[in-house]
């Protein structure tokens, strides 16, 4: 049985259904100054794109300038550690994703405890992943890739954004379900991983739709499968992995906003309100939808419950699929 970890500190002023509680408590907290959104991966990846989409409206809602800072390295733990050790005053926040659910069970101790070092503020969006290859690759289907991998264990390499992120988990799960062996090549973000696929350093990889779509349209990539259970309306011809012999396969990348543990209840709820204001606009939703993503802006209590469930599921997956850090 997976252990979800000790429940994170709770501090909700939210009514059910995500509606904001009476405004007096929210108005009581104001940011101490300019806000830093720390992204623990390189520019151009999913966390980075989400942070940069969020920043303008987020800052406007809070009345403070917001900067996005990329502190990548050590599988995301350098940037995450910067926020984990920051004062809990709301000035330094983290935009992170599935790494928050996988790292506690996959990575060696990074100098802080992922399970208790952060205060969940809001889940920002969900992002499908596409299994992509270069357009000139010799195999043209998922079945062909897996057939070749069975004949030559370890011969085929996949690029990922780093250990413990969604595209690492998706590829490791596929290998486990298919009974094949791939070589994992972790990079410092989604954009470097994609460059490795295009440059021939890796044979394939799972890539967020926002990065893959322009290259698919220009004929530089081919998509063999989708990581989520349902097909994408914008790519109706691309089948899911579940449709191709692996029922139940469903891996979705996601991004969320976190503060350091100890962040006050009033701060969490004001920051959540700013997330909602930033993402609940026609422009933000259209930009996310155009990249295949879905805006969420879930309430802190909802996000915290999701994170507990995700950690339990990811611990079970790491153990069952024998996923390892490389």
Q: What is the pLDDT of residues 159-173, one digit of tens each?
A: 999 999 999 999 999
Burial code of 245-269, b = ≥16 C-beta within 10 A, e = fewer?
ebeebbbbbbbbbbbbbebbbbbbb
Cα(167)–Cα(205) distance, rounded to whole angstroms? Answer: 7
Mean pLDDT of the chain: 90
What pLDDT score does 193 carry?
Answer: 95
What pLDDT score does 290 carry?
Answer: 86
Q: What angle do CA 2, 125, 159 make, to 5 degrees?
A: 70
Chain segment 97-129, per-residue pLDDT in tens: 999 999 999 987 789 999 999 999 999 999 999
Cα(166)–Cα(206) distance, rounded to whole angstroms? Answer: 8
Over 196-219, what HEC string results?
Answer: HHHCCCCCEEEEEHHHHHHHHHCC
**Residue segments in the chain with a per-residue pLDDT below the cut of 50:** 1-26
What pLDDT score does 27 carry?
Answer: 53
Chain segment 45-68, per-residue pLDDT in tens: 899 999 999 999 999 999 999 999
Confidence (pTM): 0.88
Cα(52)–Cα(206) distance, rounded to whole angstroms? Answer: 22
Cα(257)–Cα(255) distance, rounded to whole angstroms? Answer: 7
What pLDDT score does 24 carry?
Answer: 41
């Amino acid at each position: 049985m997976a252990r979800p970890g000790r429940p994170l500190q709770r501090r909700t002023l939210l009514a059910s259904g995500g509606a904001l509680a009476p405004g007096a408590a929210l108005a009581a907290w104001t940011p101490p100054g300019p806000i830093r959104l720390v992204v623990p991966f390189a520019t151009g990846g999913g966390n980075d794109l989400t942070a940069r989409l969020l920043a303008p409206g987020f800052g406007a809602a809070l009345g403070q300038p917001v900067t996005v800072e990329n502190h990548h390295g050590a599988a995301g733990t350098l940037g995450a550690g910067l926020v984990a050790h920051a004062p809990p005053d709301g000035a330094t926040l983290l935009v992170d994703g599935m790494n928050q659910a996988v790292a506690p069970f996959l990575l060696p101790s990074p100098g802080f405890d992922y399970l208790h070092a952060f205060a969940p503020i809001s889940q920002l969006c969900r992002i499908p992943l596409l299994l992509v290859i270069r357009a000139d690759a010799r195999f043209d289907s998922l079945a062909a890739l897996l057939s070749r991998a069975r004949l030559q264990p370890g011969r085929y390499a996949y690029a990922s954004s780093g250990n413990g992120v969604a595209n690492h988990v998706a590829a490791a799960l596929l290998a486990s379900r298919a009974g094949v062996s791939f070589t994992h090549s972790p990079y410092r973000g989604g954009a470097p991983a994609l460059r490795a696929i295009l440059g021939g350093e890796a044979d394939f990889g799972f890539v967020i739709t926002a990065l893959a779509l322009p290259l698919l349209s220009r004929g530089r990539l081919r998509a063999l499968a989708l990581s989520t259970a349902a097909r994408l309306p914008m790519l109706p011809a691309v089948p899911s992995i579940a449709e191709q012999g692996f029922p139940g396969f469903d891996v979705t990348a996601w991004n969320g906003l976190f503060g350091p543990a100890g962040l006050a209840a009033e701060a969490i709820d004001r920051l959540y309100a700013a997330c909602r204001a930033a993402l609940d606009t026609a422009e933000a939703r259209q930009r996310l939808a155009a990249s295949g993503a879905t805006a969420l802006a879930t309430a802190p209590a909802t996000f915290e419950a999701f994170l507990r469930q995700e950690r339990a599921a990811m611990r079970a997956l790491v153990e069952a699929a024998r996923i390892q850090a490389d």
